Amino acid sequence: MFGSLFEIISTSVYFTIYYYKKPKTIENTTDVLEIDSSFENAIKHYVQGHALRNDKDTKSRVLGNEELSLYKEELKEIKKVSGRDYSTQNGHEIAYRRI
């Protein structure tokens, strides 16, 4: 940040802050993974797809390919949502005096 903000005249100021939380380090096999809920479906499709692909049955392998396709679609959606620039939605500009 360049400078300091002071003398805010408005009494009702609201800010929306978007951030990514750094998950806890996994140290034991009993630790729970901290995964954002938006990744749940993608992970399920990925694991199911690879498990089914490892089966020698032809039908299972076809189902595995379908699961992996669904995984790729979920990833596309996640990338689209995470690529949004929330900083330009408001469009307000606040002037402040640099010290």
Beta-carbon contacts of 48 under 8 Å, excluding residues fewer than 6 positions away, are 64, 67
Q: How far apart, in whole angstroms, are the C-alpha atoms of residue 61 and residue 35?
A: 28
Q: List % helix, strand, coil for the chain (3-state, nearest 5).
A: 45, 0, 55
CA distances from 40 to 14, 61, 81 (A): 31, 22, 15
Q: Which residue has the higher pLDDT, 29 or 81?
A: 29
Q: How far apart, in whole angstroms, are the C-alpha atoms of residue 65 and residue 53?
A: 7
45-61: pLDDT as tens digits: 999 999 999 988 999 99
Going by C-alpha positions, the residue among 7, 4, 18 that lies closest to residue 88 is 18
Q: What ranges do the domains of the chain cover?
A: 37-84
Q: What is the mean pLDDT of residues 28-51?
A: 90
- The residue count for the chain: 99
- The CA radius of gyration of the chain, in Å to the nearest whole number, is 23
Q: What is the pLDDT of residue 44?
A: 94
Flag the least confident range among 12-16, 22-26, 56-60, 64-68. Answer: 12-16
Q: What is the mean pLDDT of residues 41-45?
A: 94
